[in-house]
């Protein structure tokens, strides 16, 4: 029995590592994520290297993004990689039917994506085409990327200017194959997975970590079918997609103009991630009690209406304090499920959905969600510390949610970090955090908050929301006392 508004850490029961790949990202050929985001026009005056925007690369390097998923999303199952290599002038064009019906000129393809990943110092996570592509096409893509020897695809790669293979590891076998990726049944997809995965070969030390296209939200049958019908050693991971909605799919709600009603419903939807990963993990446990297969939540985030006046197919949305608290709470959930959740990818890095970065021509801003990933990078590959959280409720009308959520870890230098969120929009909470064995450590803290949950960064005021030092933590013995402000994220560091 932990007292109310008390967090008790148990460093002695630390067992799992928080995979840095939980802090992964996702960039699709969608709206202005790639084109007009990362990738500028040929004669652009915006500083760039081989057309990749310098300010975006610098910002993402700072938060150490561990992996980047590409080219989709729904786009992946329409994408033919062979159209995106070789001389740009010779690359065929296609229609991006999912996202605005715009013409895709294939100027950003395999080489450009891997160039971007190298600049970012991040691992590529490529999603192959199962919906409309062939087994041969996927097989050849892997050979093109990873074979270090004499073969038709390795020769083609060399002709296109890349002598050595990239040795891509993370490999998605289709995306949302229950929907835009082919409208398949779970049983049919599981069989297709076995075929496609068979011919996505390992070459030498370039071993693929294959990820099966997983369930939509609460579809436990999909996960069960994959676990039952696919040999476990054929999958590194199984994916899961879940988006937070304040309203429904038909009326999602504005990103910046909303009341407490929508704030509450978004928080409620976000916190259901805990139920989802728990239940999908339970299904997986039945077939894989040793937890060899990872649950990869490779699309998540809040999905709102687009900004007024923008192309509805481009999914360009603003990003408020509410969204930062959603990111922070979701990452706490993933950390606490590190035994099974070993990869996750926020949708989508630049100018799309819950973005880290928004651009307007040469201008760029970091969203509140970016700052969450900045603050949380301390958890990457750190040892998860189990927490018991006893919290008062955040009450809204007749409904309630736990006001506090948290996660904690110990890094390789022995420093402890606690990330604590108070979602209650009106009430601060007097909180005591007990961390046994930390008598000699000093406490410091940072906070991300603002006056209103709708507050956000604009191109005129790009730094309205950003983390600042928080002086309100008091360390006594093994306990930290603080009054955590309403609607805030506080990161406590315990260090020598």
Shortest CB 77 distance to ligand AHR, Å: 9
Place of tokens 């991040």: 122
Q: Which of 7, 40, 74, 190 binds ligand AHR (CB under 6 A)?
A: 74
Pick out residues in 158-177 that bind ligand AHR (CB under 6 A).
Answer: 175-176
Shortest CB 377 distance to ligand AHR, Å: 23
Residue whose C-alpha is closest to residue 22's, from 419, 406, 387, 376: 376
Q: How far is CA 250 from CA 95, 208, 302, 304, in A?
A: 25, 38, 14, 10
Q: Which of 78, 112, 262, 299 binds ligand AHR (CB under 6 A)?
A: 299
Contacts of 181 (CB under 8 A, 6+ apart): 74, 76, 77, 130, 131, 174, 175, 213
Q: Does 73 bind ligand AHR (CB under 6 A)?
A: yes
Pick out residues in 241-280 that bind ligand AHR (CB under 6 A).
Answer: none
Shortest CB 219 distance to ligand AHR, Å: 13
Determine the Cα–Cα distance for residues 258 and 410; give it in Å rounded to an integer: 38
Shortest CB 291 distance to ligand AHR, Å: 25
Pick the closer one to ligand AHR by CB: 208 or 347. 347
Pick the closer one to ligand AHR by CB: 138 or 347. 347
| Choice among 28, 104, 143, 299 that is catalytic | 299
The footprint of ligand AHR on this chain (CB under 6 A) covers a number of residues equal to: 10
Pick the closer one to ligand AHR by CB: 74 or 138. 74
Judge contact between 375 and 11, C-beta under 8 A. Answer: no
| Choice among 176, 307, 362, 478 that is catalytic | 176
Q: How far is CA 161 from CA 80, 106, 139, in A?
A: 20, 17, 21
Site stretch for ligand AHR (CB under 6 A), options 43-51, 68-76, 191-199, 430-438: 68-76
Give CB contacts under 8 A, 24+ apart, made by 464-473: 465/321, 465/324, 465/368, 465/371, 466/366, 466/371, 467/371, 467/374, 467/375, 467/491, 469/444, 469/445, 470/445, 470/446, 471/445, 472/445, 473/443, 473/444, 473/445
Q: How far is CA 178 from CA 217, 272, 300, 316, in A?
A: 12, 21, 17, 25
- Residues 342-371, one symbol each (x = binds ligand AHR by CB under 6 A, - = not), give -----xx----x------------------
The two tokens of residue 33 are 């994520």
Determine the Cα–Cα distance for residues 186 and 224; give it in Å rounded to an integer: 9
Question: Is residue 176 annotated as part of the catalytic site, yes or no?
Answer: yes
Give CB contacts under 8 A, 24+ apart, made by 145-149: 145/110, 145/114, 145/206, 146/201, 146/202, 146/203, 146/206, 146/208, 147/203, 147/206, 148/203, 148/204, 148/206, 149/203
Q: Which of 24, 31, 37, 72 binds ligand AHR (CB under 6 A)?
A: 72
Pick the closer one to ligand AHR by CB: 359 or 479. 359
Judge contact between 33 and 357, C-beta under 8 A. Answer: no
Pick the closer one to ligand AHR by CB: 239 or 488. 239
Question: Is residue 42 annotated as part of the catalytic site, yes or no?
Answer: no
Pick the closer one to ligand AHR by CB: 72 or 84. 72
What residues are paired with 104 via a beta bridge? Answer: 94
Place of tokens 């393809």: 109
Pick the closer one to ligand AHR by CB: 283 or 347. 347
- Residues 1-40, one symbol each (x = binds ligand AHR by CB under 6 A, - = not), give ---------------------------x------------
Residue whose C-alpha is closest to residue 315's, from 55, 105, 98, 104: 98
Determine the Cα–Cα distance for residues 302 and 29; give it in Å rounded to an integer: 19
Pick the closer one to ligand AHR by CB: 35 or 394. 35
**Chain residue at closest Cβ approach to ligand AHR:** 73
Site stretch for ligand AHR (CB under 6 A), options 70-78, 82-90, 218-226, 438-446: 70-78
Shortest CB 5 distance to ligand AHR, Å: 37
Shortest CB 464 distance to ligand AHR, Å: 26
Shortest CB 315 distance to ligand AHR, Å: 6
Shortest CB 28 distance to ligand AHR, Å: 5
Shortest CB 76 distance to ligand AHR, Å: 8
Pick the closer one to ligand AHR by CB: 358 or 423. 358
Pick out residues in 85-144 that bind ligand AHR (CB under 6 A).
Answer: none
Residues with catalytic roles: 176, 299
Query: Which residues lie near ligand AHR (CB under 6 A)?
Result: 28, 72-74, 175-176, 299, 347-348, 353
């Amino acid at each position: 029995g932990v007292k109310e508004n008390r967090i008790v850490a148990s460093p002695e029961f630390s067992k799992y590592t928080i995979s840095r790949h939980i802090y992964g990202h996702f960039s699709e050929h969608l709206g202005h994520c790639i084109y007009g985001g990362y990738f500028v026009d040929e004669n652009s005056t915006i500083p760039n290297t081989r057309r990749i925007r310098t300010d975006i690369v610098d910002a993402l390097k700072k938060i150490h993004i561990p992996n980047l998923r590409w080219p989709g999303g729904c786009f992946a199952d329409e994408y033919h990689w062979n159209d995106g290599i070789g001389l740009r002038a010779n690359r065929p064009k296609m229609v991006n039917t999912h996202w605005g019906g715009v013409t895709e000129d294939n100027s950003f393809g395999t080489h450009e994506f891997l160039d971007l990943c190298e600049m970012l110092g991040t691992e590529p996570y490529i999603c192959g085409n199962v919906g409309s592509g062939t087994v041969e096409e996927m097989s050849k893509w892997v050979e093109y990327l990873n074979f270090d020897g004499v073969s038709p695809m390795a020769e083609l790669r060399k002709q296109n200017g890349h002598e050595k293979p990239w040795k891509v590891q993370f490999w998605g076998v289709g995306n949302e194959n229950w929907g835009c990726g082919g409208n398949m049944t779970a049983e049919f997809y599981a069989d297709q997975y076995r075929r496609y995965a068979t011919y996505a070969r390992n070459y030498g030390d370039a071993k693929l970590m294959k990820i099966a296209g997983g369930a939509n939200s609460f579809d436990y049958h999909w996960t069960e079918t994959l676990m039952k019908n696919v040999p476990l050693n054929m999958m590194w991971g199984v994916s899961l997609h879940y988006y937070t909605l304040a309203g429904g799919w038909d009326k999602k709600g504005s990103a910046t103009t909303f009341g407490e009603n929508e704030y509450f419903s978004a928080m409620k939807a976000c916190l259901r991630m805990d139920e989802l990963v728990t239940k999908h993990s339970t299904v997986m446990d039945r077939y894989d009690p040793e937890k060899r297969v990872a649950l990869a939540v490779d699309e998540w985030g809040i999905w709102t209406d687009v900004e007024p006046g923008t192309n509805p197919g481009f999914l360009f949305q603003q990003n408020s304090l509410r969204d930062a608290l959603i990111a922070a709470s979701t990452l706490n959930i993933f950390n606490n499920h590190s035994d099974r959740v070993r990869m996750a990818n926020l949708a989508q890095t630049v100018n799309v959905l819950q973005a880290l970065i928004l651009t307007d021509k040469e201008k760029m801003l970091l969203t509140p969600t970016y700052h969450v990933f900045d603050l949380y990078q301390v958890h990457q590959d750190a040892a998860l510390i189990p927490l018991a959280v006893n919290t008062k409720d955040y009450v809204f009308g007749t409904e309630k949610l736990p006001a506090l959520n948290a996660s904690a870890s110990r890094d390789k230098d022995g420093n402890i970090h606690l990330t604590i969120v108070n979602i209650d929009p009106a009430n601060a909470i007097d909180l005591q955090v007990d961390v046994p064995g930390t008598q000699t450590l000093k406490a410091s803290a940072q906070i991300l908050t603002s006056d209103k949950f709708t507050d956000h960064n604009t191109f005129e005021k790009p730094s309205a929301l950003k983390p600042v030092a928080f002086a309100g933590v008091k360390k006594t013995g093994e306990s930290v006392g603080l009054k955590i402000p309403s609607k805030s994220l506080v990161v406590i560091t315990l260090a020598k």
